[in-house]
Structure 1
């Protein structure tokens, strides 16, 4: 993002470099379809207004996205994308507060290369000094985020997100705090639905993901992320002669909860590797031309993977050896945070992604690259995502009621969100908790392991794995 055109051109330069390679067919293919023209046009208009605001900040209104100090990027990125959609829907200039709890953190511009012409999204970037001074009392430590000048909106305001006409909001700055993807509430808000549908070329998110389009504008890789990704694909032995790559993300340090203090353990690593091979076979990938990339938060996943894959001459395993392991994903260091985004970006370039059910990292990595993922559940069965959208984690906690009470029932894309994360589709205990408020759904909830409307199948059911995703079209996705 900030810091000039060189960062903004990182994704394009990496793709050009990738196309120059001939040993990987996947690298010659178009990676991700461009966003709808209407969305691109609106984003460029906002960019021009941002440039004007640096000279006259009081002439404009703002949307400030504020992340939590230790939120993982799988939580931040969906919240930031939702905030961008709200900014575009209300003709506000969009800025982010990307501060971390830890001193040695990664700056927004070190991860993403969003704006051209030296502009920046991060309000803390020096180029945004005039805007930062103008919005000072709305920012952390400013003490005035509930004044008429700026209002703060959090998870407790989801009802407003679903019903309010946000264009009529008088406050100069809306401060939007979220570690989730409540975008479906905004999309189905009757005051903004038609406007957002038009912004995305008339296609709802189940037909073509809205997050991938927002992410292509908001999260193009920085020079550093793009170069590390490109170097990995160019030099790692497993990619030589490969035509396809199946990504595997194993989240093992965060047990999926059952509603109390106990956790439902994830299945053993081999269950993920079995699923990856089944998916590759179902998509018609020749094993001798398929590489399997592993991203995980635990060394044991690597150890098992090496024994599993390297025991066969027909299987190719790729691992970033530089990745470090630490408490909660090693979020306390710049190296750990940057490495997490690099691995997420590599996963987004794979032809298919095998993820950990309930992990926002898996969901966002695949959605970033417009890939519909296959998630392995605690039972060892899998979930094939109906859309290239990250999970709205709190949909099943009763927030979908905001749509039902508005007379909409539960739209299909919201039904997807109710079932795609931790909660009723896998953990029956959560159906009885006080925060599970979706009327009528708790008593009729499917038993653990059932599909809830999206196929949940044993990994041995390879004949049923082929889907209508972009990955199944055989399109290569390796270019950075």
Structure 2
């Protein structure tokens, strides 16, 4: 049995789930995903993704069920191996390769009931391991991408609370990058995703009909904001190339979903 508790925002959780699905398939062990609604991602799993029967999802358990699960965990504690986020990062920072992580988790899953709580990709996966959005969300994605013409580039500008992205990937560099693409081909389009409404408006004013966008709700504290962020991610994935923000899992996962090049816009 493999149990995973994905942490962090949308990009982080997607890579954890993809890692878990890949590990479950490799070891033929059943998988449970414990999905938590919190300030980082305030949206339930089934509002975002389809369940394909390959795993089970538990979320927002009642207090009684939490106490029951806690009792079961205490009883079976000796039979379980818990791997924390800190342990994964410690091993990563000490130089563990992907192959070493794969070998460790493959062996651990075969020998034990394995519980993993992390925001990191702990096991190798393919784009096919990402969960698929609901039909409602896919319909919105298709509506947006039907407006694409070639060439179209994705632009992801992460702002708000992400100090590293703000410092290392300033907005001016994104604008300069877009200007270069327009200079090479005046018919270039951009799908732009950002969590800052002012920046979005400035870019629309500057590049006008060359810009396609979707999301209006920027808060991660609402279900609507998270659903619109997922639509943004898959719309980015459908472009020719993504110009992304430094240290943003959102940019990285969009690139992996679409198997398209990612260029980090950086000082």
Query: Cα distance, 1:277 vs. partner?
Result: 4.5
SS in 2 for 1:177: strand
Q: Is 1:269–1:305's contact at 8 Å kept on the other side of the alignment?
A: no
* The structure with more helix, counted as a fraction of residues: 2
Cα distance in 2, alignment partners of residues 145 and 107 from structure 1: 29
C-alpha distance after superposition, 1:138-166 (max 9, x if no partner): x5785439713333212344458465461
Distance 1:305 1:95, change over 3 A: same
C-alpha distance after superposition, 1:262-317 (max 9, x if no partner): x96245423213223535777xxx432x321110011121122023202xxxx611
Distance 1:123 1:252, change over 3 A: closer
Instruction: Please show how residues 284-303 of structure 1 align to structure 2 within 5 Å.
Output: 286-288=185-187, 290-303=188-201
- 2:133 matched to which residue of 1? 221
SS in 1 for 2:57: coil
Q: Is 1:154–1:178's contact at 8 Å kept on the other side of the alignment?
A: yes
The reply to whether residue 324 of structure 1 matches residue 182 of structure 2 is no
Distance 1:144 1:349, change over 3 A: farther
In the alignment, which of 158, 170, 180 is matched to residue 120 of structure 2?
180
Distance 1:370 1:145, change over 3 A: farther
- 1:63 matched to which residue of 2? 2
Q: Is 1:252–1:266's contact at 8 Å kept on the other side of the alignment?
A: no
In the alignment, which of 191, 199, 222 is matched to residue 333 of structure 1?
222
Distance 1:295 1:340, change over 3 A: same
Greater Rg, structure 1 or structure 2?
1
Cα distance in 2, alignment partners of residues 181 and 248 from structure 1: 23
Query: Any gaps of 5 or more consecutive residues in structure 1?
Result: 1-61, 126-132, 188-209, 258-262, 380-480
SS in 2 for 1:174: strand
- 1:370 matched to which residue of 2? 259
C-alpha distance after superposition, 1:52-106 (max 9, x if no partner): xxxxxxxxxx2111123xx20111111122222222232201221112126x943
- 2:34 matched to which residue of 1? 97
Cα distance in 2, alignment partners of residues 166 and 280 from structure 1: 51
Query: Cα distance, 1:256 vs. partner?
Result: 3.7
Cα distance in 2, alignment partners of residues 364 and 140 from structure 1: 33
Cα distance in 2, alignment partners of residues 145 and 181 from structure 1: 29
Cα distance in 2, alignment partners of residues 140 and 347 from structure 1: 40
C-alpha distance after superposition, 1:106-128 (max 9, x if no partner): 3223212241xxx3734338xxx
The reply to whether residue 254 of structure 1 matches residue 161 of structure 2 is yes
Structure with more contact order per residue of length (Cα contacts < 8 Å, sep ≥ 6): 2
SS in 2 for 1:287: coil
In the alignment, which of 195, 199, 206 is matched to residue 308 of structure 1?
206
Instruction: Please show how residues 46-57 of structure 1 align to structure 2 within 5 Å.
Output: none
In the alignment, which of 253, 256, 270 is matched to residue 172 of structure 2?
270
Query: Cα distance, 1:231 vs. partner?
Result: 2.2
Cα distance in 2, alignment partners of residues 161 and 287 from structure 1: 46
Query: Cα distance, 1:342 vs. partner?
Result: 0.8
Cα distance in 1, alignment partners of residues 195 and 14 from structure 2: 19
SS in 1 for 2:114: strand
Distance 1:369 1:341, change over 3 A: same
Instruction: Please show how residues 162-201 of structure 1 align to structure 2 within 5 Å.
Output: 164=104, 166=107, 169-171=110-112, 173-183=113-123
Cα distance in 1, alignment partners of residues 135 and 75 from structure 2: 34
Q: Is 1:84–1:94's contact at 8 Å kept on the other side of the alignment?
A: yes
Cα distance in 2, alignment partners of residues 153 and 347 from structure 1: 33
Number of aligned positions between the proteins? 250
Distance 1:106 1:140, change over 3 A: farther
Distance 1:154 1:232, change over 3 A: same
Give the structure-2-normalised TM-score.
0.79
C-alpha distance after superposition, 1:394-428 (max 9, x if no partner): xxxxxxxxxxxxxxxxxxxxxxxxxxxxxxxxxxx
